[in-house]
Structure 1
Amino acid sequence: MKTLGMLFFLSFLLVGCGGSSSGDTSDNTSASSDSDPITGGDWYQPVPLATWQWQLQGTVDTDYDVEIYDIDLFDSDVSLIQSIQATGKKVICYFSAGSYENWRDDAGDFEAADLGNSLDGWDGERWLDIRNENVREIMAARLDLAADKGCDGVEPDNMDGYTNDPGFDFTAADQLAYNRWIANEAHQRTLAVGLKNDLNQIDSLVNYFDFAVNEECFEYSECDRLQPFIDANKAVLNAEYQDQYVNDATARAALCTDSVNRQFSTLVLPLDLDNSFRYSCN
């Protein structure tokens, strides 16, 4: 196991204890993207075919017989997290690491320079300039909140802004540096961390993250790209929303056969993730 104190000290020297400002990013991005992953710590590490439930809206139904609950960081109080853990389950806490959400408790901490274009189809959300020191400070505080609440791990969302239209000119290298920083910061707090989407950079990130959370890889024929996580004995938690998987039992059975053969953990869920229905492949 690497010495965490030394890794933190080196990280402080390289990225200024929170990343670069938007005005000067090239040096810090290069240094951070080359940082080594923090591995081998005493945090939860789910393996392929782990069972899970993903609910981000509504009163959380805690009765599913699964290994993992993935729930909202802000909306879940400590008593809920502890009640789930008391039954032997692990709790992954969701937050957006790549977008501003105007309803969050810390929304006022973002600066105008942090905020970019709106996310298509998601009211109240805007892309963040992930190069900014202020953004990293807010995300570090969110990871602190996850640790304080007793979450076993985190699911940082919107980790692929560079593939969208964020309103900034940050690059794939900037995204890689940020995603690695998020992973190492989570591990500094003994939190498991999942890579959300960002399929283009999996080969460069699989050693930093403990599991993957993906949406619709079967619908878009992208599941092969997640194989590096399975090869590393790390869970792939996948969700599908397409109507045929919801309404056609034959199509859903075929999906599940493929999913189990790949050792994925696939759920068919409502897009709102409100537990209005749920089908599990394993």
Structure 2
Amino acid sequence: MFTKFALTGLLASGVATAATLPKADVWQPELTPKWQIILSSTLNSASRIVPSDAKVWDLDVFETSASTISKLQDAGSKVICYYSAGTSEEGRNDLGGLTSSDYGKGLPDWPGEKYINIKSDRVWSVMKGRIDMAKEKGCDAVDPDNMDGYSNDNGLGLTQADAIAFVKKQSSYAHSLGMSIGLKNAEEILDQVQDSIEFAVNEECTKTGRCAWYNNLLAAQKPVFHIEYGSKSDSNTYCLKSMSNGNQFATVIKHLSLDGWVVYCDGSEYTSSVADKSVDNGNEIDSGNEDA
């Protein structure tokens, strides 16, 4: 087992890489926890947190304070910290070290956001810093998004093999820091990285007919945090379809903006209290309510 001193020396000497770092004990989520995801705004932890029985929260690592994470954990919840691993996002202050060669084509549905070269050492340095940020804030896991550049017109020639290597690189580093990691969408590489992740996050597999891609992951007792976008009236359809082949998903119905509103398969509906991004959680004003 590496001591902190020995590990620091190995990193400094270049002997230890992301692929060889020792794996610490990490959280393995249960199959169907009640969960909530909020990315377009910031959870208002100064208010009463609802749903109070949500055991997993997926929140933006940049916008969520260490005190909010600690408050959720004190209430018995685990916190997954989101960041985009395969694209740039406007307003992120850690991209200054990238060069023009690190940027690919823009995402048609997300103005100002571009694919980035996940084979670049400069990009790895950014993502390593984001994983470090998650660790410093006390996150239990990380949720690296946009690893499916290979299936889009990315402008960088990125392949499935590149995505697999980058997921495993992030996984090894996150594990060495004692954090779990998931795979967001990118179902084509799921089987190749299944042993490197503790969970998956999926968007709209009932709409796309891709829920069966997760059979092997579920058989390995690793959960799928499943999002369908729509209204409360859609919940029965989405929930029944997601379980039609015998699989059980941790399903939520959300607005496309991934704000504080959520509906569960039992019909319960909540609105978590949120504030605009970049508002200090310690000074936020309650703007939400519990609807169920």
The answer, yes or no, to whether TM exceeds 0.5 is yes
Aligned to 2:55: 67
User: Deviations along 1:184-212, whole A, 9 cap, x unmatched?
Assistant: 11111111101111111111100000100
Moved more, 55-64 or 197-206: 55-64
With CA pairs under 8 Å and 6+ residues apart, which has the higher RCO, 1 or 2? 2
Residue type of the alignment partner of 2:257: D
Kindly report the root-mean-square deviation, in angstroms, between the aligned alpha carbons of the 2 structures: 2.6
Aligned to 1:226: 214
Q: Distance between the aligned counterparts of 2:93 and 2:161, measured in 1?
A: 30
Residue type of the alignment partner of 1:153: A
Alignment of 1:240-251 (within 5 A): 240-241=228-229, 243=230, 246-248=232-234, 250-251=236-237
Q: Distance between the aligned counterparts of 1:273 and 1:175, measured in 2?
A: 25
User: Deviations along 1:195-232, whole A, 9 cap, x unmatched?
Assistant: 11111111110000010011111111101101111111
Alignment of 1:67-146 (within 5 A): 67-146=55-134
User: Deviations along 1:161-180, whole A, 9 cap, x unmatched?
Assistant: 11111111122212211111
- Shift in CA distance, 124/193, structure 1 to aligned 2, threshold 3 Å: same
Equivalent of residue 201 in structure 1, options 166, 170, 189: 189
Contact 1:267 1:279 in 2 (8 A): yes
Aligned to 1:175: 163
Contact 2:79 2:140 in 1 (8 A): yes
User: Deviations along 1:255-278, whole A, 9 cap, x unmatched?
Assistant: 46548x412101110111012x31
Residue type of the alignment partner of 2:217: F
Equivalent of residue 28 in structure 2, options 31, 45, 58: 45
Contact 2:21 2:173 in 1 (8 A): no
Contact 1:101 1:107 in 2 (8 A): no
Q: Distance between the aligned counterparts of 1:207 and 1:38, measured in 2?
A: 15
Residue type of the alignment partner of 1:269: K
Moved more, 86-95 or 59-68: 59-68
Higher helix share: 1
Residue type of the alignment partner of 2:156: F
Aligned to 2:263: 279
Deviation at 1:66, TM superposition (A): 1.3
Q: Distance between the aligned counterparts of 1:216 and 1:37, measured in 2?
A: 34
- Shift in CA distance, 13/156, structure 1 to aligned 2, threshold 3 Å: same
Q: Distance between the aligned counterparts of 1:169 and 1:50, measured in 2?
A: 38
Q: Distance between the aligned counterparts of 1:202 and 1:214, measured in 2?
A: 11
Contact 1:202 1:228 in 2 (8 A): no
Q: Identity of aligned pairs, percent?
A: 34
Task: Specify every segment of 5 or more residues in structure 2 that has no aligned partner in the other structure, as ranges.
Answer: 267-292
Deviation at 1:9, TM superposition (A): 5.8
Aligned to 1:23: none
Aligned to 1:236: 224
- Shift in CA distance, 155/122, structure 1 to aligned 2, threshold 3 Å: same
Q: Distance between the aligned counterparts of 1:239 and 1:183, measured in 2?
A: 23
Task: Specify every segment of 5 or more residues in structure 1 that has no aligned partner in the other structure, as ranges.
Answer: 19-34
Aligned to 1:30: none
Are residue 254 (structure 1) and residue 254 (structure 2) matched?
no
Match of 2:135, SS state, is: helix
Moved more, 130-139 or 42-51: 42-51
Q: Distance between the aligned counterparts of 2:182 and 2:239, measured in 1?
A: 27
**Matched residue pairs, number?**
257
Q: Distance between the aligned counterparts of 1:248 and 1:159, measured in 2?
A: 28
User: Deviations along 1:227-254, whole A, 9 cap, x unmatched?
Assistant: 111111111111011x4x6434652453
Contact 2:235 2:263 in 1 (8 A): no
- Shift in CA distance, 158/37, structure 1 to aligned 2, threshold 3 Å: farther
Residue type of the alignment partner of 2:252: L
- Shift in CA distance, 271/212, structure 1 to aligned 2, threshold 3 Å: same
- Shift in CA distance, 203/252, structure 1 to aligned 2, threshold 3 Å: closer
Match of 1:136, SS state, is: helix
TM-score, scaled to structure 2: 0.80
